[in-house]
């Protein structure tokens, strides 16, 4: 499908209509960001339509669901005959968007985080919080460190293309980039597979990360794809089918993005079936059993299918009623109604049915053992649970209907974007009415009273912050005393130069008679005889003394840095500062901005620089290297070496203690500056808000008239749509 085949006039008309709207509102909108939002609407619409109408536009198919919904296993079973081509990502930190398309040559194209994106992840990793965004960042940074990767080498590379010849080679290579324990996984933002496989002709298939991805840049990449998605296979685990997280995405995001086919997959069907299986009881025939369990797989399948279908129908009917009450177009309603018939699938059971039992993985053997006792024909039951044939039929039908789907999407572009435009105008209207109400019912004098009250709160905050930072300084004094003692004790440990054991060979020379008793003329002859002896001795090396100095310098520097870290306790400091704000501000007041206050605290804590201690010990090393050389064996030289080492250690201790005192003074001063900076930031934000409102109150009547004119203009624009 290309631009020539479609009538693009409605799209141009929508853009022109919005541009004219901006022009009419430009001299009436009190807030510039309203006009910016309308311009963003045009920009997004152009990007989507330009992508859609480009030549050889592919059918975008997304596989969506929460982490552990089984998306990778589902795609492996559907597209790769069960081979583990796409590695499993069982945690949010390793969930990576993986796109698959046809190409003449097989290749993996890896996109790494940019330097700025990785810096943001590293910054989040330093924040002491249990939020997913911070814990995931910590895990990614830890993985990079454990894997021995230098981030800069990959972030500067940005993208990398890796060719491969077979699926076996692909699996081995791909696991390094998207596998849970892959060497490069923590630095990978997304992956694109180019496959020389006719089945991928005209398609772009994406395995998306799970819901609520804690890595912001990956979330953006997923949203960009969802803007262009045409068909979605939505996976929800059978054992927790359509829970709140599932329904949030399914009901509020996917259809509005332009998805024209939505296939609801109840994944891990075998797990749902195993939940209702139980052995048959002797009195079942008499009492008839119950309607919540089954003693064989076929009956359990019927039970689970009925339960999940009922759940899907209830959820869909509820959402359809909500859509109709809001006057949403019927095309969207039909897309949602398609979810009322879920397809139940077990990728594991499908793969088990395709191979001999001897090739089962440990997990598959466990599942097989659990199912076999409830089956009369286990192979037939595995195929029943797998149910991949139904999915394959749906997939083939979607591919055949590509042109129809794209035409439906093209026809829905303008109605969908018009609804979005109406939503923007409605938000502008509500905001304008609220502002008018505030101006009409506000009171300038009361506002001043409130401002004075808040400034009093700021003074209380100042006192409380001074107390918090005072505790840090007191703790630092305690840590300083401990550090000085530790420096002295560690110095004593390095004061001795270890004795080394050596050996040398000494030769003894002796003359012996060499004459022959019956030959008198030989009686005056002698010969020399040699005998070697091994002599053991002890010695010292000057290099050992120099190494002691190096190690003392390194360990002492770490002790000083640890003293500051132990005194500061960033996580505890952050909590105390937030507690100060909560205890001294009225968090129910409209002027209280929780996000801003948290940002002030985060910026304050992140700006704290712990000292990095490094000492120049070249002079101390030279003082030993210049006096001693080689093996030192005599007691006198050993005593001289020990004395030189002791003197060097003492000098280094004095320098370290002085450096510690200097850093403590500097750090205390910085704590006072930070306390003042935090107070000033909080006060500046509140004063700015009050000043703006006061200025508006001063020209209240004129402002009200302007807002009413804008409100009337908004109502007129809504009527034009």
pLDDT (tens digit, 9 = 90+) per residue, 186-220?
898 889 999 999 889 889 998 887 555 555 555 65
Q: CB neighbours (10 Å) of residue 403? A: 11
The pLDDT, as a whole number, for residue 100 is 92
CATH code of the domain containing 694: 1.20.120
Residues 431 and 380 placed together within one structural domain of the fold = no
The total domain count for the chain is 3
Q: How far apart are CA 174 and CA 154, in angstroms?
A: 16
- Residue from 330, 318, 272 nearest 297 by CA: 272
Q: Produce one character per residue of 473-489: b if its CB has 16 or more CB atoms within 10 Å, e if not.
A: eebbeebbeebbebbee
Mean pLDDT score across all residues of the chain? 80
pLDDT, tens digit, 9 for 90 and up, residues 227-278: 778 888 989 898 888 887 777 666 655 655 567 788 999 999 999 999 888 8
pLDDT band at 48 (very low <50, low <70, confident <90, very high): confident
Can you give the residue range of the structural domain that contains 547?
447-498+541-701
Note the pLDDT of residue 4: 38
How large is the C-alpha radius of gyration of the chain?
Answer: 38
Identify whether 111 is part of a domain: no
pLDDT at residue 689, as a whole number: 56
503 DSSP β-pair partners: 536
Residue corresponding to tokens 């592919």: 58
Looking at residue 281, its pLDDT comes to 66
Calpha distance 194→163 (Å, rounded)? 9
Tell me: the pLDDT tens digits for 322-359? 767 766 656 667 777 877 889 999 999 999 999 999 99
Q: Are residues 420 and 465 in the same domain?
A: no
What sign results for the dihedral spanned by CA atoms 438, 439, 443, 448?
positive
Residues 296, 376 within the same domain: yes
Q: Please indicate, yes or no, if residue 582 is contained in any of the structural domains.
A: yes
Residue matched to tokens 């997913």: 132
Shared-domain flag, residues 245 and 332? yes
Q: Are 334 and 431 contained in the same domain?
A: no
Is pLDDT larger for residue 70 or for residue 219? 70
Examine the pLDDT at 547 and tell me if it is beyond 70. yes
Residue 244 maps to a domain: yes
Question: Do 568 and 674 touch, CB atoms closer than 8 A?
Answer: no
Q: In terms of domains, do 379 and 285 share one? A: yes
Pairwise CA distance, residues 225 & 253, whole Å = 13
pLDDT band (50, 70, 90) for residue 662:
confident
Decide: 416 and 258 in contact? Cβ < 8 Å.
yes
Q: Which of 368, 383, 400 is the last residue of a domain?
A: 400
Do the beta carbons of residue 14 and residue 414 sit within 8 Å?
Answer: yes
**Angle at CA of residue 635, ends 633 and 640, nearest 5°:** 100
My answer on whether 273 and 356 are in the same domain is yes
Dihedral of CA atoms 380, 385, 388, 393 in degrees, nearest 10, equals 90
- Write out pLDDT tens, residues 267-320: 999 999 998 888 876 655 543 455 788 889 999 999 999 999 998 888 888 877
Note the pLDDT of residue 440.
73
Same-domain check for residues 413 and 468: no
Tell me how far apart the 2 most distant CA atoms of the chain are, in Å: 147
In a domain? residue 40: yes
User: Does 547 reside within a domain?
Assistant: yes
Judge if 378 and 478 occupy the same domain: no
Q: What does the alpha-carbon distance between residue 36 and residue 10 come to, in Å, rounded to a whole number?
A: 23
437/571 same-domain check = no
Q: Are residues 396 and 428 in the same domain?
A: no
Pick from 82, 72, 102: which is nearest to 193 by CA?
102
User: 592 with 685, same domain?
Assistant: yes
Residue 685 within a domain? yes
Work out the percent of the chain whose per-residue pLDDT is above 90.
16
In a domain, 195, yes or no: no
The pTM assigned to this predicted structure is 0.57
Task: Give domain status of residue 178, yes or no.
Answer: no
């Amino acid at each position: 499908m290309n631009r020539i085949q479609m009538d693009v006039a409605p799209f141009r008309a929508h853009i022109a209509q919005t541009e004219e709207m901006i022009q009419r509102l430009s001299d009436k909108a009190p807030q510039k960001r309203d006009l910016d939002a309308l311009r963003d609407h045009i920009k997004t619409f152009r990007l989507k339509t330009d992508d859609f109408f480009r030549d050889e536009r592919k059918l975008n198919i997304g596989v969506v669901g929460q982490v552990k919904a089984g998306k990778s296993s589902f795609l492996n079973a559907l597209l790769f005959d069960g081979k583990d081509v796409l590695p499993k990502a069982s945690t949010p930190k390793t969930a990576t968007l993986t796109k698959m398309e046809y190409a003449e040559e097989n290749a993996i194209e890896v996109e790494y985080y940019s330097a700025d994106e990785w810096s943001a992840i590293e910054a989040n990793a330093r924040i002491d919080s249990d939020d997913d965004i911070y814990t995931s960042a910590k895990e990614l940074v830890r993985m990079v460190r454990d894997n021995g990767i230098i981030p800069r080498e990959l972030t500067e590379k940005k993208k990398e293309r890796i060719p491969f010849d077979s699926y076996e080679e692909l699996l081995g290579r791909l696991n390094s980039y998207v596998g849970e324990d892959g060497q490069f996984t923590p630095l990978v933002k997304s992956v694109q597979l180019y496959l020389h496989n006719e089945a991928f002709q005209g398609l772009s298939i994406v395995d998306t990360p799970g819901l609520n991805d804690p890595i912001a840049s990956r979330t953006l990449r997923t949203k960009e794809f969802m803007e262009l998605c045409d068909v979605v296979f939505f996976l929800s685990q059978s054992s927790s089918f359509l829970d709140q997280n599932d329904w949030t995405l399914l009901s509020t995001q996917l259809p509005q993005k332009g998805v024209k086919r939505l296939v609801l997959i109840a994944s891990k069907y075998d797990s749902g079936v195993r939940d209702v299986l139980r052995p048959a009881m002797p009195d079942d025939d008499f009492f008839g059993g119950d309607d919540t369990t089954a003693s064989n797989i076929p009956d359990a399948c019927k039970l689970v299918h009925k339960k999940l279908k009922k759940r899907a129908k209830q959820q869909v009917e509820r959402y359809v009623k909500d859509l109709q009450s809001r006057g949403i177009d019927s095309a969207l309603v039909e897309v949602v109604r398609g979810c009322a018939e879920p397809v139940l699938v077990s990728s594991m059971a499908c793969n088990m049915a395709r191979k001999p039992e001897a090739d089962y993985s440990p997990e598959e053997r466990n599942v097989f053992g659990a199912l076999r006792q409830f089956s009369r024909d286990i192979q037939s039951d595995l195929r029943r649970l797998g149910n991949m044939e139904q999915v394959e039929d749906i997939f083939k039908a979607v591919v055949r209907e590509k042109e129809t789907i794209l035409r439906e999407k093209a026809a829905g572009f303008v109605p969908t974007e018009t609804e979005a435009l109406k939503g923007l105008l409605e938000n502008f209207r509500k905001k304008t009415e609220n502002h008018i109400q505030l101006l009409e019912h506000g009171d300038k004098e009361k506002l001043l009273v409130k401002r004075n009250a808040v400034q009093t709160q700021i003074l209380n905050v100042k006192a409380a912050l001074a107390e918090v930072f005072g505790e840090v300084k007191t703790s630092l004094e305690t840590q300083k005393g401990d550090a000085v003692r530790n420096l002295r004790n560690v110095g004593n440990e390095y004061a001795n130069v270890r004795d080394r054991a050596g050996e040398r060979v000494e030769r003894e020379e002796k003359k012996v008679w060499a004459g022959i008793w019956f030959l008198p003329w030989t009686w005056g002859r002698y010969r020399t005889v040699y005998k070697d002896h091994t002599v053991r001795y002890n010695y010292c090396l000057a290099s050992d003394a120099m190494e002691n100095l190096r190690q003392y310098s390194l360990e002492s520097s770490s002790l000083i840095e640890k003293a500051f870290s132990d005194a500061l306790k960033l996580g505890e400091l952050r909590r105390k500062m937030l507690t100060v704000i909560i205890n001294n501000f009225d968090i129910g007041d409209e002027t209280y901005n929780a996000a801003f206050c948290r940002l002030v605290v985060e910026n304050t804590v992140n700006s704290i620089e712990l000292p990095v201690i490094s000492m120049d010990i070249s002079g101390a090393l030279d003082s030993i290297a210049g006096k001693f050389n080689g093996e030192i064996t005599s007691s006198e030289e050993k005593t001289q070496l020990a004395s030189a080492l002791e003197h060097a250690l003492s000098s280094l201790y004095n320098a370290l203690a002085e450096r510690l005192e200097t850093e403590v003074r500097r750090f205390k001063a910085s704590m006072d500056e930070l306390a003042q900076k935090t107070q000033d930031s909080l006060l500046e934000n509140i004063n700015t808000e009050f000043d703006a409102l006061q200025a508006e109150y001063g020209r209240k009547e004129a402002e009200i008239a302007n807002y009413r004119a804008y409100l009337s203009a908004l109502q007129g624009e809504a009527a034009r749509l």
